[in-house]
Amino acid sequence: MDGQFRSLIFQTFGEVFETMFFTFLEPVDEVPGPEALVCDDTYIRADIVYQGPQSGRFTIYLPKRLARNVTMNFLGADEADISDEQMLDTAKEATNMAVGSLLGKIDPAGESKLNIPEATILDQFSGAEIASEPGAFLFDTDFGRLWVVFS
């Protein structure tokens, strides 16, 4: 994966989360070692597939603390009123918006098509496993680490 595409992913996800969810993402250029990736938060995984001249998948892993925050900001709701279902819906919407924005930049002719995103709450999560994937991107936030995996 070239550096320009990598920068574009960092930039696009940052723009979407800041604009739509009032949440700042800080790109992490060098993923820390496995001991620094231990986390005890429950994570949500959201996936979206796109097809076109080039096809691929983006998977986003976000801690429930972050999902709750972006859902509160997106819906203008109080924390006590946020359900797991709403967090899953917001994770899907965030994935759709970020990848849709990215595709608009890398495929200006609009030949690529997004599938419907899916999301689930994970029983287990390992940042060390995600970090070993070649298309992994890491962001720090005030509410935990957000992972994006391109495959």
What pLDDT is stored for residue 15 in this prediction? 97
Q: What are the pLDDT digits (tens) for 105-122?
A: 999 999 999 999 999 999
What pLDDT is stored for residue 1 in this prediction? 55
Rounded to whole angstroms, the Cα distance separating 66 from 23 reads 9
Domain ranges in the chain are: 3-28+41-150
Give the three-state DSSP class for 33.
coil
Decide if pLDDT at 84 tops 70: yes
CATH code linked to domain 3-28+41-150: 3.40.1550.10
What pLDDT is stored for residue 35 in this prediction? 63
Please give the mean pLDDT across all residues of the chain: 93
**Confidence (pTM):** 0.92
Neighbouring CB atoms inside 10 A of 41's CB total 14
Sequential DSSP letters for 121-140: E-S---HHHHHTSTTEEEEE
Q: What are the pLDDT digits (tens) for 41-71?
A: 899 999 999 999 889 999 999 999 999 999 9
